[in-house]
Amino acid sequence: MQIHEYTDTNGRSPFADWFNDLDASVAAKIATTIIRLEQGNFSNAKGVGAGVSEFRIDSGPGYRIYFGKDGERLVILLAGGTKKRQQQDIENAQSRWADYKQRKRHRGDK
């Protein structure tokens, strides 16, 4: 699997913004989860609607990574968060996924 971060029209990655604010021990757990996704391990992932999935990390306040799969080989990281802000994070991830797909169609990418 290839892992990419969603970037908005200004080139900003909301996932990176979130990740860069984490403390080192949490960032290491998130990085390990991303490696698992890269290896195709989606065992802790579930769909949350509109083409977005949530990968749960059972640590601390219940960290989550939100992503979309573009085909069989590409994963787009949309957001990260905790159980406390889960619904808002899901809505943001769904909006970003819709934006990603719309811009991809506009570019004519397959």
**CATH number of residue 9's parent domain:** 3.30.2310.20
Per-residue pLDDT tens digits for 8-54: 999 999 999 999 999 999 999 999 999 999 999 999 999 999 999 99
Q: How many domains does the chain have?
A: 1
Q: Residue 38: in which H helix or E strand, if any?
A: helix 24-38
Cα gap 24→12, rounded to integer Å: 22
* CA-based torsion, 12, 18, 22, 27: positive or negative: negative
Cα gap 104→24, rounded to integer Å: 34
| Predicted local confidence at residue 59, as pLDDT | 83
pLDDT-derived band at 110 (thresholds 50, 70, 90) equals low
The residue range of the domain holding 39 is 2-107
* CA-based torsion, 40, 43, 49, 54: positive or negative: negative
